[in-house]
Structure formats: structure tokens, C-alpha cells
Structure 1
Amino acid sequence: MTKFGYFLACEEFGPADLLEQARMAEQAGFEALWISDHYHPWNDAQGHSPFVWSVIGGLSQVVSLPVETAVTCPSLRTHPAVVAQAAATSAAMLDGRFRLGVGTGEALNEHIFGDAWPSATVRLEMLEEAVAIIRRLFTGEEVSHRGQHYTVENARLYTRPDQPVPIDVSGFGPAATALAGRIGDGYITMRPDEDLITQFRGSGGNQKAVQGGLKVCWGPDRQEAVSTARRLWPNMLLPGELGQVLPTPRHFEQACELITEDMVADTVTCGDDAGQHIEALRTYVDAGFDTVYVTQIGPEQRGFFDFYRAKVLPQLADS
């Protein structure tokens, strides 16, 4: 049976708001939490980007739900040995209720030290090497490594959970999806694409968990909700690799001038029609997702959680 979680958007909210949303999500009946790991928001209107590992420490004290990063890039901005320590500590604080979601990242967050932004092929190589390092460190052994992209010398994690942290790999295209099937404990993607899930299964994913996410904008005035979604998250509708290669929020704002409210209205679930919200989620269920995470766009957080608690989640559970 598909589970439904809530996706905490670090790009749009500060730490205190994120902790309160997590509390409301658990009270509303959501079963798990995703949390984004960014250095910058996608645009200045979103306005936030707290350090995710600090927020996870706070989450461990206020909710009993499982938590996962969606997703961390363990290659450029943060060395994989440091990601391993952060993930192990998070899992220890959450009594093993932590999964590490990883991906190849975006220039928006990862180029801040001035390094050249690698090609997609190189980023996948870096991700595979990084995951191998992290898994070795999770065993508690002392690790020294000199690879194509990373060097580790005499590193050992002393604070660890009882079991190694599961690592789920994000993929939005065939090459990344094949890598996820080969090296991941699960698969993360944002589109209900049955072909990609089939590829993941055939690449070694077998019965491993498939997780996805979507953003909605609940509100009693649908047109106002559409306008809110267009103002805060137009980047969702950018095509191709723009999301991976544009380097600053300013560049995203320039590209998103091409995104109209009509495009948002046709693509994003907005308003307070429970049937539309349920249908959007069922698209993921029908595609074979094990867990689906929902983000509410904008300030109407309490109304959203009340709406999902009363009108959406019970119907999904009954079906």
C-alpha cells in the first residue's frame, strides 16, 4: 500500500516554520518527511535556505516520523566523508528513522566554491564514487581512499546508528535511473513516469522502494492559489536541464519569465477541490510509487493540513 508523506521545502521556509509544519504533518496523518538540501532558494521570492542538517536535528526532537533528505548532493559542496558523518548522526538522533537521499545536484547550490560545473556524465561518476565512500564509512571501519574524484585519509565514524543508513538515489533520466537501480537502496523521482520505474526495476531496483514528490497549492480561491504557485515555484515548469545548469536565483528568475499562470494552472494542482488533489496523488500510486510526498506552496499551511487530514488522506486510505 502506498504511503503519503510531507515534503518540507527549505527554499521557502525558515527553521522554526519547518519544525511547525513537521508537527502539523504528523498530526494530519502523513507518515514520513522529506526535506530539501539547498544552499540557495530557486528564486528570491522563496526567500530561505537553512542548513538542512541543523533542521534535521530539530526534527528529531519534535516528531516521530521517518526523515529523508530529498536530495543531498555528496560531491562538490560537501565532501562525501562529511555527508556520511552528517547522515550517521542524523540516523542516531532519529533512532534509525533516517534515509539519505542523494543526487547529482544543481549548479545553483554546488558551484559556490568556484569549481567548474561538471558534465552530467562526470556528475554521475562522482555520485557513484561518493556513495561507495559513504557506505564504507557507515560500516565503522577506518577508510582511506584515493579515487578518480575523491581522497579520504584515515576517516572513521564513531557515532553511528545500529544499522547502516539506507541510501536512495535520485534520477530523472535513463542514465541516472540506471545508476539508481545499480547502487541505490531505493529510487527517488518527481514524475509519475512508469517507464523510468520499469527501467529502475530492470537495472537492479527489483523490489526496492520507489519514492516521488509533487507540489500543490491549496486555497479556497483557485486563481489566487495559481498566482501563488506562479510567484513562488515557476521553476518547476522549466524544461530540460535548465534546473541543473543555471547558476543563481537571478538566472532562474530570468528563465521563469517564460512561465505563465495558464501554464501553472494546467500543470499544478491548485485550489480546494479534494477530487483534484486525490487524482494527482493517485497518478503516482498507479505508476507504482511506494511513497508519495506532498508540498504545500505558500503560506496557507494550516488550512492545507486541515484539508488533507479531513478530505484527502482518509479517502486515499479507503481506496
Structure 2
Amino acid sequence: MTAYGIHASHEQVPPADLLDAVVHAEHAGFTAAMCSDHFSPWSVRQGESGFAWSWLGSALQATGQVPFGVVNAPGQRYHPAIVAQGIASLAAMYPGRFWAALGSGEASNEHITGDGWPRKDIRNARLRECVDIIRALLEGEEVSHDGLVTVDRARLWTRPPEVPPLIGAACSTATAAWCAQWADGLITVNAPRERLREIIGAYRDAGGRGPLHLQVHLSWAPDEEEAAALAYDQWRSNVFAPPVSWDLDSPELFDIVSEHVSPEQVAGTVNISSDLGRHTAWLQEYAELGFDAVMLHHVGREQRRFIDAFGSEVLPRLDVTRPLPATAKEFRCV
């Protein structure tokens, strides 16, 4: 059975409103949550960029049992030792309720350091170094490292009782197979059914263990035209496959390249419907593919109406289950 959670989009919604949303979502029956970690939005129209790590402390405190995850890109904007310290402190305060997904990042967030934006192969190599550093620190080791990142005698003095999962973030079969070398699970985004099956297969065939997470972009409103308009306004800058999504470095550029995106293109990226039964069927399909957790990202900026509708009409039709345990011990790749 599958846990259904809510995705908190810091690029779109002010952090105080996002906090209200996740509290309301828990009361409505969502059993998991995750958030993005951006320095800038994907579009000027989205217009937000709250700091994920301070928000997560508030969100974990304000909710009762829901586990939270964050998608983070260590190596440029974040030093891996600082990421490890953030993970350790949240997991120590809220045991079993926090996990981190790690990816190679996007230029729109990372360029702020003034360092050059590396090629994808270099970013992957840097990420792998960061993963090894973060894991060693979480396990209590003192770490010194000289490579694409540098660490000098780092040690975490506050650590959680158990190391939380470090999840691999992947949108391609190649990256999914690569994540199998180090990840305690996998997270990807919604795509055609066969494409998702290929990503899952690439991860499992390469030896990947642990839970499968899916972030689903959706747009719902009582009226079909409103649902389509919400998606087009907020998410048309997000229809581009890599390397475009990796390499553009400002919301203004995303808006320029998305000027001629069609509503049909948006519908290829976002599940758009006013029909709650259709949304239920989509979510059931993801569970049947084998995803252990499905995180719902309503791309509209107003969240309460979506939460109420899905809490009353969609989640009761699904096999909503307990949250996934946020501990890496039982998921460690071998």
C-alpha cells in the first residue's frame, strides 16, 4: 500500500501559508509531506523562495506524526558538512520523521555563489563526494576530504539515534541506475506510465533498494477551464526537459523561453482535471506501479481548497497507509 503526502512548493507559496497548508493536510488525511529547497522560483509569476531548512523545523513542530523530506543539492550553494548538520539536527529532534533527497541541482539556484556551473558529469561526481561525506558524518566519523569539495576535520557532535534515509533524485533511467550505487531509495516526478516503469526498472535492476517516492504535479479546480488556467499560469515554465531545466539561471529566462508554450504542453507535465475521480485513478495507477509514497503537488498557489477536496473525496478512495519510517537502516543499499 502507498502513503499519500503533500508537496510544499517554496517557489510558489509564502512559508507561513505553506505551514498552514501542511498542518491542514495532516488533519485532512495526508500521511506524508515533502518540500522543495530553492533560492529562486521557476517563474517571476511564482514569486517566492522561502528557506526550506528553517521552515522544516516549524513544520515538524506544528504537525504531529507526518514525516517530512526535502530535496537538496549539496556541493555548491550548500557545503555538505552543513547539509549533514541540518539533517542530523532535524532527525535528532524528530526521530523517524525526516529524510533528505539529494540531487545535482539547477543553475537557477546554485549560480548565486559566483562559481561556474559544472557539466553534468562533474556535478554527479561532486554529488557522490557529498553523499559519502554526509553519510560518514551522520555515522559519527571525522571527515577530511580534498576533491571537488573540500572538508577539513569535520565532525557532527549532535547526531540522531538512527541515520535518516538519503534518497536519490532522478528524472532519467541513467541517473536512476547511478543512484542505485548509493541511495536508500529513489524519488522522481510524474511522467507517462511506461517512462516511470523504465525509471523504476533501471533503479531496481542496478541493485537499488528502499522505498520509491513520486512527486506528482497536478492542477484541480471545480471548473475544467480554471484547472487548466492555473496550471498554465504557474507551471508552463516547468515543461522543459534537461538540460534546459538544469542550465537556465534565472526566473526571467524561464519566462522568456516559455512564452510560446502551449496548454497542451503543460498538460503533458501536469495532471489537469476538475474530475476528482480522474485524479483518484491517476494516483491509483502510481501505486500500482510500485511507488511507496506519492507526494501531491497542486501547482496552484492557493492550497486549502485542493486539500479539502482531496482529503474528503480522493484519499478515502485510495489505500492510504501509515507514513514511511524515516530511517535508513532497513533500506541501505548493498
Q: The TM-score by the shorter chain falls in which range? A: over 0.9
Give the unaligned 5+ runs of structure 2: 322-334
Partner of 2:317 in structure 1?
315
Deviations 1:246-281 (A, max 9, x none): 111011001111212233345533343112111221
Aligned partners of 2:16, 2:10: CA distance in 1, in Å?
11
Once the two structures are superposed, the pairs formed by residues 171-182 of structure 1 within 5 Å of their partners are: 171-182=170-181
Once the two structures are superposed, the pairs formed by residues 117-196 of structure 1 within 5 Å of their partners are: 117-146=117-146, 148-192=147-191, 193-196=196-199
- Check if 1:270 corresponds to 2:269: no
- Check if 1:294 corresponds to 2:293: no
- Check if 1:213 corresponds to 2:215: yes
For residue 160 of structure 1, report the CA deviation from its aligned partner: 1.4
Partner of 2:77 in structure 1?
77
| Corresponding residue SS for 1:90 | helix
Give the unaligned 5+ runs of structure 1: none
- Tell me the amino acid that sits aligned with residue 113 of structure 2: F
Moved more, 211-220 or 38-47: 211-220
More relative contact order in 1 or in 2 (CA 8 Å, sep 6+)?
A: 2
Aligned partners of 2:202, 2:320: CA distance in 1, in Å?
30
| Corresponding residue SS for 2:16 | helix
Runs (4 or more) in structure 1 with deviation over 3 Å come to none
Partner of 1:15 in structure 2?
15
Aligned partners of 1:36, 1:93: CA distance in 2, in Å?
21
Aligned partners of 1:198, 1:262: CA distance in 2, in Å?
28
| Corresponding residue SS for 1:257 | coil
For residue 21 of structure 1, report the CA deviation from its aligned partner: 0.6
Aligned partners of 2:60, 2:302: CA distance in 1, in Å?
24
- Tell me the amino acid that sits aligned with residue 161 of structure 1: P
- Check if 1:102 corresponds to 2:102: yes
- Check if 1:204 corresponds to 2:204: no
% identical equivalent positions: 39
Aligned partners of 2:154, 2:102: CA distance in 1, in Å?
21
For residue 166 of structure 1, report the CA deviation from its aligned partner: 1.1
For residue 65 of structure 1, report the CA deviation from its aligned partner: 0.7
| Corresponding residue SS for 1:233 | helix
- Tell me the amino acid that sits aligned with residue 182 of structure 2: I
Q: CA-atom RMSD, angstroms? A: 1.6
Checking the alignment, whether the CA contact within 8 Å between 1:96 and 1:162 is kept in structure 2 is no
| Corresponding residue SS for 2:180 | helix
| Corresponding residue SS for 1:317 | coil
TM-score by length of 2: 0.91
CA 1:109–1:28 in 2, change beyond 3 Å: closer, same or farther?
A: same
Aligned partners of 1:123, 1:265: CA distance in 2, in Å?
30
Deviations 1:129-166 (A, max 9, x none): 100000110012222222x2121112111111101121
Aligned partners of 1:75, 1:159: CA distance in 2, in Å?
22
Checking the alignment, whether the CA contact within 8 Å between 2:217 and 2:269 is kept in structure 1 is no
Moved more, 267-276 or 57-66: 267-276
Partner of 1:283 in structure 2?
285
- Check if 1:68 corresponds to 2:51: no
Partner of 2:247 in structure 1?
245
Checking the alignment, whether the CA contact within 8 Å between 1:189 and 1:211 is kept in structure 2 is yes
Checking the alignment, whether the CA contact within 8 Å between 2:4 and 2:320 is kept in structure 1 is no
Equivalenced residue count is 316
Aligned partners of 1:266, 1:125: CA distance in 2, in Å?
31
Please state which structure has a larger fraction of its residues in helix. 1
- Tell me the amino acid that sits aligned with residue 291 of structure 1: A
